[in-house]
Amino acid sequence: MNRLIPVAAFAVFAASVSPSLAQSNSTTPPAVSTSNAESKTTAAPVAGKNSFTEAEAKKRLESFGYSNVSPLHQDDRSIWRGTATKGGEQTAVALDYQGNIVTQ
């Protein structure tokens, strides 16, 4: 019977520590898409409640080298959309709530 106490204590300790060890590091960004260097994920643009204002969305696009950013509008998936110029090419752009920039 005395042998069961240390085993039970270890089981309780292991059960309480395991969840914290299994958590992922939330500061690690998702893998970068090879088709869209300004997106953190190949699933971009990701639908979701967007916390960017239009001015913030425009500023983010400009910080990634886009200019002549048109007035932006949010679509039914809360993705900011418009047009912008980069490298002398005008293109359609989208910015999701995660900050991913996608050209189309």
Convert the pLDDT of each residue in 76-92 to its tens digit.
Answer: 999 999 999 999 999 99
**CA-CA distances (angstroms) from residue 70 to 39, 40, 51?**
20, 23, 19
Determine if the pTM surpasses 0.85.
Answer: no
Helix (H) or strand (E) holding 26: none
Token readout for 21 is: 């060890």
What is the structure's pLDDT at 61?
96
First to last CA, the chain: 69
> Domain residue spans in the chain?
38-104
Q: What is the mean pLDDT of each run of 10 residues along the chain (104 residues)?
A: 56 52 43 47 75 93 96 93 96 92 90
What is the structure's pLDDT at 28?
36
